[in-house]
Structure 1
């Protein structure tokens, strides 16, 4: 066993001969043993020694083994194994009910004692390894920054994402506009075993029954297939409740069969991808209203994650806003603006219907105003197009005009993209290309 794999034990017994006998046994088995005669000394040693397991007598002068158990933090402290005389067995059983790992009756059988201690130490090592792995995964994926906050709702969400990322079961992400549904979908992908594979996002509201086969299955040997592009990774179905009914049956077949039939002919191509979907609606209501197939919902909602609104996590508001202003200050190479009492009052008084996305936009406008030497949070929360900077070039002016015109059309037609394209007098494909080019966020507009 290497030095880094040597198990460490903290031994507590007021009987000197018992301590020496146990130390000899443990060291012969390869343990690093630290022995003390009082439980209080053991508590003082814990932070520096960080043992893998604690072995303690029950009855001792001063603090007993049961008292020691009460002093240990159940989630982070090493497991406690108790040594009990025959008359102490009821107490030992009660201690196990209160969180002790196990107990060994005197006189102990050496092999049984060593087996119990090894199992206890291995369990503690596994727990610490899992905690370190989760913390590392959070840092590497940016999950701790992306899902920033310390409210119970936010912490529970981070834990849910980490747990679900290990599975390949379909996940349905529920949440209002601006709560970060795609961000959670990407985190589920990045933290999964297929994190190195592709992440392909489909806006279900933009899928057309007429072009579904060509777009999804591709031509010869699947060339140009959106589904083939997701092979070995994650297929993200956004706005699933807005998917046209004619498309839903075809989508269901794809998810069930996990294969594509190229439109130009040829044998079926097997696929392997995880499905993550999202909606800002109540899917059960969409089923009742006949807008979402029940069998499709059952295929997508094996696991579900509900994202809290910003109103539900108001205690995270100032932390999030400070994070966003610091982030945009780095982007625009300026100092983050100070947060005044008036700013705090304005932030806390607002209902934030646009959730975290709205807060982030306000933070960006506040930083831009600060860079010009003025502004406040209250002013940043008032969107007045007349106060925007005038574009410097004709290209920027045209893009600004197109962005405003398309945004108004999307709002006027409640996001029905065929109607938007018809109203603007352009083709659907041209509209989609302009939306991507102009970085328009349909969810934020509706």
Structure 2
């Protein structure tokens, strides 16, 4: 038999006999009880313990139960149930509109009161559990580091990602180049119920109109198609507005039917995946120009996430730059450059057309120039890295060369790591080790 959870309650009532009566009732029902005789004592008690629910009288000397309700952060505090012998319907309605969980009249019916309190406690426990899970996922995914920033736009985006990750809804991510669209797509996957499944990223601009079925659906009694690699996970369609229109029709059929027919096959193969798409273009403009099918758009834009451009979140510039400074200072084993007033002026005056990706490159150039005892942010923004950022030591030169080669291979193979490793003539494990050692951000390369 499943053991019933033992809920906790804080009782607030100035009437000693009523307070004791409530404690006796709840103790007998298996609750952990705590009681105070003044609403003004609640804050101090909440600092010591966090009950599942608060039961408070309305009329008390000093702070009333209604005053207590007004003083509480409803979203962060335990649910509050008010109880009173002097209540009326307008008071009860107003209290619940202000955030009270329920309103009970005295004399109370014990069974009904216990039912109300149990439901309130269950809701409180569920909210705590959800909050802990979201915080744990936030830490495990590094979402606060991936989508680094303190502006309202980024805070809301992080919350949207956490909320949407729990669903299977198709998501369209819109944003300029360099804003982190694939990072968001991967976060939706990593935080979702299919996180253990595959994440298949397709650059739609590179999908062939001819031979699409062979590459994507596979051949009967031959190689399996690439779409099979997404089954059980997430299919990420990047640059959807650049997808050939005939290919859009074929993708639409796959998304709708959740199955593919291998070339030469006689029976379809079922697929199950979540669709996440991305574009840096105006989708309605693309529809108007007949470059994007309207029915295809309707299938992929159940929810739309708009990623803010860096020029619209200037309050995050110093935070982001400091983060990248630390990353590259560790990589090149050098000190973090100091920011001067001129550096800040240059940082804020630039429009950042390449967004966070551009800022990352500027940070790397500034760290490299600082290693040689020179450089400014203005120079890092305008300099030619081929000329200015030649490393001093052989180790730095080799690392820079490897970073460039690996980056080109990853981009040329659209993020397919096995193909990139083969092109470089090394094993997949060796490639992974080098990516970690060199501090490469695969997502930022694509």
For the aligned pair, the TM-score class normalised by the smaller chain equals 0.7 to 0.9
Q: Show the counterpart of 1:345.
A: 345
CA distance in 2, matches of 1:84, 1:440: 60
Verify: 1:106 aligned to 2:106, yes or no.
yes
Q: Show the counterpart of 1:182.
A: 182
CA distance in 1, matches of 2:288, 2:172: 18
Q: CA deviation at 1:75?
A: 1.3
Deviations 1:5-43 (A, max 9, x none): 421111111111001110000111111111111111122
Structure 1 segments of 4+ aligned residues over 6 angstroms from their partners: 1-4, 390-393, 439-445
Q: CA deviation at 1:373?
A: 2.5
Q: How does 1:113-262 map to 2 (within 5 A)?
A: 113-221=113-221, 223-262=223-262
Q: CA deviation at 1:250?
A: 1.6
Q: Show the counterpart of 1:355.
A: 355
CA distance in 2, matches of 1:9, 1:217: 59
- TM-score normalised by structure 1 residue count: 0.86
Deviations 1:244-267 (A, max 9, x none): 123222222222222121224342
CA distance in 1, matches of 2:441, 2:45: 59
Report if aligned partners of 1:92, 1:103 keep a CA contact under 8 Å in 2.
yes
Distance 1:51 1:440, change over 3 A: closer
Q: How does 1:3-402 map to 2 (within 5 A)?
A: 5-221=5-221, 223-384=223-384, 385-389=386-390
Q: CA deviation at 1:443?
A: 9.8
- Aligned CA RMSD, in angstroms, stands at 3.2
Structure 2, unpaired ranges of 5+: 413-418, 425-430, 432-439
- TM-score normalised by structure 2 residue count: 0.86
CA distance in 2, matches of 1:343, 1:4: 61
Helix, strand or coil: the match of 1:55? Answer: strand
CA distance in 2, matches of 1:74, 1:53: 12
CA distance in 1, matches of 2:59, 2:441: 70
Report if aligned partners of 2:172, 2:277 keep a CA contact under 8 Å in 1.
yes
Q: CA deviation at 1:186?
A: 0.5
Helix, strand or coil: the match of 2:262? Answer: coil
Report if aligned partners of 2:54, 2:80 keep a CA contact under 8 Å in 1.
yes
Q: CA deviation at 1:65?
A: 0.6
CA distance in 2, matches of 1:42, 1:440: 49
Structure 1, unpaired ranges of 5+: 407-416, 418-428
Most deviating of 217-226 and 42-51: 217-226
Q: How does 1:431-442 map to 2 (within 5 A)?
A: none
Deviations 1:163-186 (A, max 9, x none): 111111211110011110000010
Deviations 1:238-288 (A, max 9, x none): 100001123222222222222121224342211111111100001110000
